[in-house]
Structure 1
Amino acid sequence: MVFESRGEKVFRFAILIVLGLLSVIALLPLLSVISVSFSSGWVVDLNQVTIWPKAFTFDSWQYMIDRPDLWRSFFLTLITTLIGTLLALLVTAMLAYPLAKKEFMIGGILMVGVVITMVFKAPIVPYFLTVRSIGLYDNPLVLIVPHILNPFNLIIMRTFFKQFPKELEEAAFMEGSGYFRLLFSFVLPLSKAVLATLALFYGVVLWNQFQHPLFFITDTDWYPLQIKIRQFITDPNEMPFLASRQEVNYNERTLRSATVVFAIIPVILVYPFLQKYFVKGAMIGSVKG
């Protein structure tokens, strides 16, 4: 049992209070948007909605759920996020593992290249021309391919692999395992913390990507969810004609709020399952270089 001094207890209590206040402040905008999405349009027009719905209604959500184009964008984003995250973890692991080995002679040179890509970003115009030249313009693969390797995530996984017990690897080698079998049969199954952490990193980027589809997707059938939301919010033609439909309980603000909440629900649902690995994986991958 660990005993704390009075000063340590006061400090810990103060930290909890500060973190609690910051959490509340961070949640207020989200609660406000959720409340607007479940409120009637006339109440929202009067600015009477704060963090709790008034004149509660599902009409805004019913309208959004009935839109097939929104569901098309949703499933496109969901599929690209799942496939992209799996490919990203595979590529990152297969590159990070040899880079973590001292016997890999060119590992130091490759790491210099990795760090350079973190410091110097590719200019937009040459990058656009390069991506278009390899056939990714108006191609849904552009939502996956440019995101399958992130230098920061690579460094985290490499650092994690460098701390992996050598005794386990030597025992596997003595039983006849090669590097590939060692990686996929022994190392990765014991790396759930860092894999879950990087899966969250990659998944959030893929789910929320905006710049790439904005640059490279012009076919509206291939719009991912974030671009579809942008179109819905900024294009007045996307809004229903409400003037002649006085019986509805929604307006532009409630519909837009419902769309925004609709886009973040998957991330909110997935995060609690990965939270227990998140802090551990991030700390393990950042303690040593």
Structure 2
Amino acid sequence: MLESRGEKLFGSVVTIILLLVSFIAIIPLLSVLSTSFSSKRMVDMNLVTIWPKEFTLASWDFMMYRPDLWKSFFLTLGTTVIGTILALLVTALLAYPLSKSEFRWGPVIMIGVVIAMIFKAPLVPYFLTVKGIGLYNNPLVLIIPHILNPFNLIIMRTFFKQFSKELEEAAFIEGCGYFRMLFQFVLPLSKAVLATLALFYGVVLWNQFQHPLMFLQDTNLFPLQIKIRQFITDDNILVTGAVSTAGLAYNERTLRATTVIFAMIPVVAVYPFLQKYFVKGAMLGSVKG
């Protein structure tokens, strides 16, 4: 079907507007990126905009040899990978029975899920509960509170409800149980929603800030986002081993920009591989309730 002249004009205008909005949105990121690769002199003179001036890797060389940064990085990476796997497993184990009409307690549990999604736990009782079960100053606090999200549970449940009942009945006749059905048939056919929820859970685990700030006092257990906060707020941490940055090729601003970009790289690197599943999974999980 050929597009009319008006439709082509409308499409062109929308494309231009979206390109402009995208460019405006990416300007702050380009500014931070160019600052990390610019010389201290250019940054001090406020001459760096969206392109590096006097290109240098001095800030990156300094940050890449900081053991405390790498320790926080691998701690965050480990908690993100383990937490995402556990979250997908727990979500699937709960969403599958809730998607079955023969599960009589399903409607009651779903009411509880919706209530939990709408009404958040009060901060003080939540803090006392988490502390009371032994997660205070415990690295598991970076994982356990995030392994089930009501919104993600609803998406996966809705996705599971679309599976063919005839296929499941045929598998049950052949002697297949619910667990085998879930792990050998349902989950392998659910790559789209699994990839989508993996991205949701992974971003939350990677970027978590409030939980470690509330429950972790040991600096050795600080995840990457809290370590970056230290770098941004405490100049002494950035210039460890030097009285000042006067004789160095970097300063606090270039180092801070480097840490921000460093924390973004893993998420930006993983997203393109999940993008093809992202829209499909989100749409399939929201067709019907």
**1:201 aligned partner:** 200
**1:80 aligned partner:** 79
**1:264 aligned partner:** 264
- How far apart are the structure 1 equivalents of 2:98 and 2:43? 56
**2:3 aligned partner:** 4
The answer to whether residue 178 in structure 2 is matched with residue 179 in structure 1 is yes
Letter of the 2:143 partner, please give it. I
Q: Structure 1 residues 244 and 130 mapped into 2: Cα distance closer, same or farther (>3 Å)?
A: closer
The answer to whether residue 158 in structure 2 is matched with residue 159 in structure 1 is yes
The answer to whether residue 215 in structure 2 is matched with residue 221 in structure 1 is no
Q: Cα distance, 1:18 vs. partner?
A: 1.9
Letter of the 2:108 partner, please give it. I
Letter of the 1:262 partner, please give it. F
Query: 2:35, 2:48 within 8 Å by CA — same for their partners in 1?
Result: yes
**2:277 aligned partner:** 277
Q: Cα distance, 1:15 vs. partner?
A: 2.1
Query: 2:96, 2:157 within 8 Å by CA — same for their partners in 1?
Result: yes
Q: Structure 1 residues 143 and 244 mapped into 2: Cα distance closer, same or farther (>3 Å)?
A: closer
**1:249 aligned partner:** 249
Aligned-residue identity in percent: 73
Q: Cα distance, 1:175 vs. partner?
A: 1.6
Q: Cα distance, 1:245 vs. partner?
A: 5.3
Q: Could you list the per-position Cα deviations for residues 148-206 of structure 1 after superposition, in whole angstroms to 9, with x for gaps in the alignment?
A: 00000001101101111222212211221111000000000000000000000000000
**1:190 aligned partner:** 189
Q: Cα distance, 1:247 vs. partner?
A: 3.9
Instruction: Please list, as runs of the form range in 1=range in 2, the aligned pairs for 1:103-122 lying within 5 A after superposition.
Output: 103-122=102-121
The answer to whether residue 92 in structure 2 is matched with residue 93 in structure 1 is yes
Q: Cα distance, 1:243 vs. partner?
A: 6.0
The answer to whether residue 144 in structure 2 is matched with residue 141 in structure 1 is no
Give unpaired runs (5+ residues) of structure 2.
Answer: none
The 3-state SS of whatever aligns with 1:137 is: coil
- How far apart are the structure 2 equivalents of 1:146 and 1:245? 41
- How far apart are the structure 2 equivalents of 1:8 and 1:153? 37
Q: Cα distance, 1:14 vs. partner?
A: 2.2
**2:237 aligned partner:** 238
Letter of the 1:254 partner, please give it. T
The answer to whether residue 38 in structure 2 is matched with residue 39 in structure 1 is yes
- How far apart are the structure 2 equivalents of 1:207 and 1:276? 21
Query: 2:59, 2:250 within 8 Å by CA — same for their partners in 1?
Result: yes
Q: Cα distance, 1:236 vs. partner?
A: 2.6
- How far apart are the structure 2 equivalents of 1:12 and 1:149? 40
Q: Cα distance, 1:244 vs. partner?
A: 5.5
Letter of the 2:65 partner, please give it. D
Q: Cα distance, 1:26 vs. partner?
A: 1.3
TM-score by length of 1: 0.97
CA RMSD across the alignment: 1.2
The 3-state SS of whatever aligns with 1:7 is: helix
- How far apart are the structure 2 equivalents of 1:117 and 1:170? 33
Q: Structure 1 residues 109 and 244 mapped into 2: Cα distance closer, same or farther (>3 Å)?
A: closer
Query: 2:35, 2:52 within 8 Å by CA — same for their partners in 1?
Result: yes
Q: Could you list the per-position Cα deviations for residues 86-110 of structure 1 after superposition, in whole angstroms to 9, with x for gaps in the alignment?
A: 0000000110111111001010010
- How far apart are the structure 2 equivalents of 1:53 and 1:78? 29
